[in-house]
Amino acid sequence: MTNLTKNFVKSSLLGLLLPLTLSLGHAAEITGAGSSFVYPILSQWAATYSAKTGHQINYQPIGSGAGITQIRSGNVTFGASDMPLTPHELNKADLKQFPLVIGGVVPIVNVEGISAGELRLTGSILADIFLGKITKWNDPEIQALNQTIKLPDQRIFVVRRSDGSGTTFNWTNYLSKISPTWKSQVGDGTSVSWPVGTGSQGNEGVARSVKQIRGAIGYVDLAYSVKNKMSYTSLQNKDGKFVQPNAASFQAAAVNTNWSQSPDFYNIITNASGENAWPITATTFVIMQKNGSSAEETSEALKFFKWSLVSGQVDAKMLDYIPLPNELVKNIEVYWSSNIK
């Protein structure tokens, strides 16, 4: 994990330089924008793919909402979103989508003396924290779940996304499934009207803010928690079990997903059943125009994604993402041949 985290930092820096190095010879310009959730693995793939092929991938982690806007406008070769578009939305905009990788959204905290995975929380407690109903770390509901930990009489500072975010969509979708109050007062989406909290840009921004503010809580992709050495919490899942966020618990949540029966692969897998399932497991989807403005760009992008799905799976596992099953990868390739040109 340590070596790959270093590679992530290196490839993240490379990602900042990609706009300056798009063209090598007559290589097509492959541009993408959207999800910051997928940025750790996408930047790792882009760096490796560039070294092997000479083709550069210019990806900007501007949030899923902005990524959807960019691909709708035809400003990029592909968008990436952790909130899938419905088949109706795709058809209306002449777009297509396919899953790329599965990961997990995790609560991160900055509470002195609390190590990674030590603090237990439930979905209803998370909802009440983000509703502003639970405001202290030693609240009786939190303390009752953590009787072996002495929690401080400290204010809870909520940190959430300020941009349109697929990570936010999966977080709020989960809270809507757990808390009727959250569902009726806030709901789900890439952007919502937050009852409380300080906004930060991207997964990286949320991780940075939580790390700087004592007593803070936020939510990020697990890779950002590991990279920033943040303390994440365990969560009670649908089966009543407290589970840790890791590749095994993400896999347990995704195992029963029926992709073959889902038009345009439309699936949301938060609050999945299974005693080992992580409750906020999410899928990143690539969104492309059905008939792109440049056949060469589209072709090169699909070559990159095929390489990522087949040859990039070791890196995905090491960054705690879940590779897609081989049968699903085959279905995606068939989908490309008949839907994206």
Same domain, 98 and 227: no
C-alpha span between 72 and 295 (Å, rounded): 17
The pLDDT score that the predictor gives to residue 27 is 62
Cα–Cα distance, 299 to 193 (Å, whole number): 40
Clarify whether residues 127 and 250 are in a common domain: yes
Here the CATH number for the domain that contains residue 145 is 3.40.190.10
Evaluate whether residue 269 is within a structural domain. Answer: no
**Which residues lie across from 198 on neighbouring strands?**
159
Report if residue 277 sits inside a domain. no
E strand map for the chain: 30-34, 57-60, 78-81, 95-109, 120-121, 157-161, 198-200, 216-221, 231-232, 234-236, 242-243, 281-289
Both 80 and 179 in one domain: the answer is no
Domains identified in the chain, total number? 2
- Are 200 and 123 in the same domain? yes
pLDDT of residue 3: 45
Report whether 11 contacts 47 (CB < 8 A).
yes
SS3 assignment, position 94: coil
Is a pLDDT exceeding 60 seen at residue 326?
A: yes
72-96 per-residue burial string, b: 16 or more CB within 10 A, e: under 16:
beeebbbbbbbbbbeeebbeeeebb
Q: What is the pLDDT of residue 160?
A: 98
Query: Is the pTM here over 0.85, yes or no?
Result: yes
234 vs 167: CA distance, rounded Å: 18
38-51: b (≥16 Cβ within 10 Å) or e: bbbbbbbbbbbbbe
Band (pLDDT 50/70/90 cuts) for residue 263 is: very high
β-pairing, 157-161 vs 216-221, is parallel
Q: Where does the pLDDT of residue 295 fall: very low under 50, low under 70, confident under 90, or very high at 90 and above?
A: confident
Q: Tell me, what's the pLDDT at 70?
A: 97
pLDDT tens figures, 93-121: 999 999 999 999 999 999 999 999 999 99
Q: Which pLDDT belongs to residue 256?
A: 86
User: Among candidates 183, 199, 162, 159, which has minimal Cα distance to 66?
Assistant: 162
> Do residues 64 and 76 both lie within one domain?
yes
Q: In this predicted structure, which of 27-36, 231-240, 242-251 has the lowest mean pLDDT?
A: 27-36
Q: Do 55 and 195 lie in a common domain?
A: no
Lowest mean pLDDT among 9-13, 262-266, 321-325: 9-13
State residue 184's pLDDT score: 98
For residues 206 and 108, give the distance between their C-alpha atoms in angstroms, rounded to a whole number.
9
Q: Which domain holds residue 329?
A: 2-103+283-339
Task: Please tell me which residue, 88 or 28, carries the higher pLDDT value.
Answer: 88
Query: Span 193-202, mean pLDDT?
Result: 97
d(CA 237, CA 199): 27
Q: Is position 30 within any domain?
A: yes
The pLDDT mean for the chain works out to 91
* pLDDT score at 18: 39
Query: How do residues 132-186 score in pLDDT, each as one tens digit?
Result: 999 999 999 999 999 999 999 999 999 999 999 999 999 999 999 999 999 999 9
Alpha carbon distance 36, 170 (integer Å): 13
Structure-token match 């409750």, residue found: 279
With respect to residue 265, please indicate whether it lies within any of the assigned structural domains.
no
* pLDDT beyond 70 at 23: no
Per-residue pLDDT, 151: 96
* 288 and 247 in a common domain: no
